A and B are shown apart, each in its own frame.
Chain A
Amino acid sequence: MTRSTTTTATGGPADTGTPTVGRDAPAAKEPVRRAAPRRRGRDGARPWEIWVPLGLYLAFTLVPFYWMLLYAFRPSGTTGLLPWPLTLDHLLRVWNESGFGVYFANSLKVGLVSMVATTVVALAGGYGLARYDFRGKKAFLLAMLCTQFIPGALMLVPLFEIFKTVGLVNSLWSVIVAETVFQLPLSLILLSGFIRNVPRELEEAAWVDGCSRFRGFLVTVLPLLRPGLIAVGSFAFIHSWNHFLFALMFLSDQEKYTVPVGLSYTIGESGSDLGSLAAGGVVAAVPVIIIFALIQRYLVKGLSAGAVKG
């Protein structure tokens, strides 16, 4: 982005101008100065300056998770602060009797199908944006930015009418389509950023070797897009796994519910049975937490790769 170049340009001369003087004079002292900040961290922070705030924030993050696990695995009627004796009763009950097993399968279907659909459509569109100039490109981009201002909650009624017309109400497909559409603009923009970061010359070399445009893309660009695809695909999955309102509106049969819908009804009835609520929460959390654990390394790297050159 222009941002990084302007900062270097504006900040550069001012910063490098004076240090050259200082760097020449105390030449002997320099290694010491360099070594000290490195041991104390990049910005010269002392260990307690990191660990006190970090510890506090970790507590804020983890205590709620622990609280959920505590209720989910502790027998009803006990109030200990350790889930002991450990019981799977709550989990088995919500899975088999409250229907979370069915909700889980539904959510998985919605999540996987809309993940694949979003990624494929966004990949095609992103490639078009990154590698071609065409009439209406700016309008297309502007339109995609504007979609970010459309409140999903406020589209419930017109979307419901559409799905009623095409006979998809109370079908998981209505949710799949709606999630895919709302995920598309950001995924497309993100993927086109990743594609633009792949040097064009790689593709051109493949064409010289006699590859078609499509084959050239498969051979050269696609393997390099792995971090981007992982990021976009898992965003899409997590988003549709988590999203609540469309499923709440479009699905009416209990055996079609997704996990968040099932969970929202459990919240409504939670006055008496906190163990079920917590166990339902565990069912909702496990897939996204696993995916998060797998992709979190890519998360920051992927975003900086997409934004730096962008």
Chain B
Amino acid sequence: MLLSLHRMGPGRFVLYGIGLAVAAFLLLPIIFIGALSFGSSKWLQFPPPDWTIKWYVEFFADPRWIQAIWTSFKIGIAVTVLSVALALPASFALVRGRFRGRGLLRAFFISPMIVPLVIVAIALYALSLRIGLNGSFLGFVVAHLILALPFAMICITNALEGFDESMEKAAIVCGATPLQAIWRITIPSIRLGIFAGAIFSFLASWDEVVVAIFMASPTMQTLPVRMWSALRLDLSPVMAAASTMLILLTVVVLGTGALLRRRQAR
């Protein structure tokens, strides 16, 4: 009875109330930032005195923002490719391997998710100061790859566990070499898991702030680092415009995901 709405009595209005309040709380900053980015007040007055798109114009006219987006994108792509390239074979070992310490290895592969980011950041900072990785493209890729790997590992391992290995064996019986069987049967069957792992790897890099702050140099900044320094400097409406565009990107990605899932369900 507590799990059905109409039989719950007046208590359900308390639930409605809290639900509405939480939904409003979760939406508040998102809508607010969107509104501010079109407001004409330089001091982020709300409600805005007038509407304008000049902050967006300013954003795209500033080479530092464009540069940061491009840097973030390049790093994200490199991280995605390497992350899948390392996690795919590793998943085969984790799922099908027969060796001692397999469970431990699996826990080890996702451990970068557990260690607080700030600790990963300063440990890598110390290393990269020593070997000269700081502020370099390679340094960013290495740092973000550590954080992206667990996501790729989880997605691909799960997909591989759900794949029926006898299909692969059937292919081998029919004359395929083991590698051919994996390449033409197994990998196409788990492509959704690989795809999800790639998306999560990209996002893990694209959105990452803490490690990037330590890795960044004045000439090499990702988008989150640029936002971080802009935020420290002052509260500018350009930042609101940048945020709104990132929120829109989230909506598009989530919306596409939901559509794909619905199409698949049909």
Q: Do A and B bind each other?
A: no
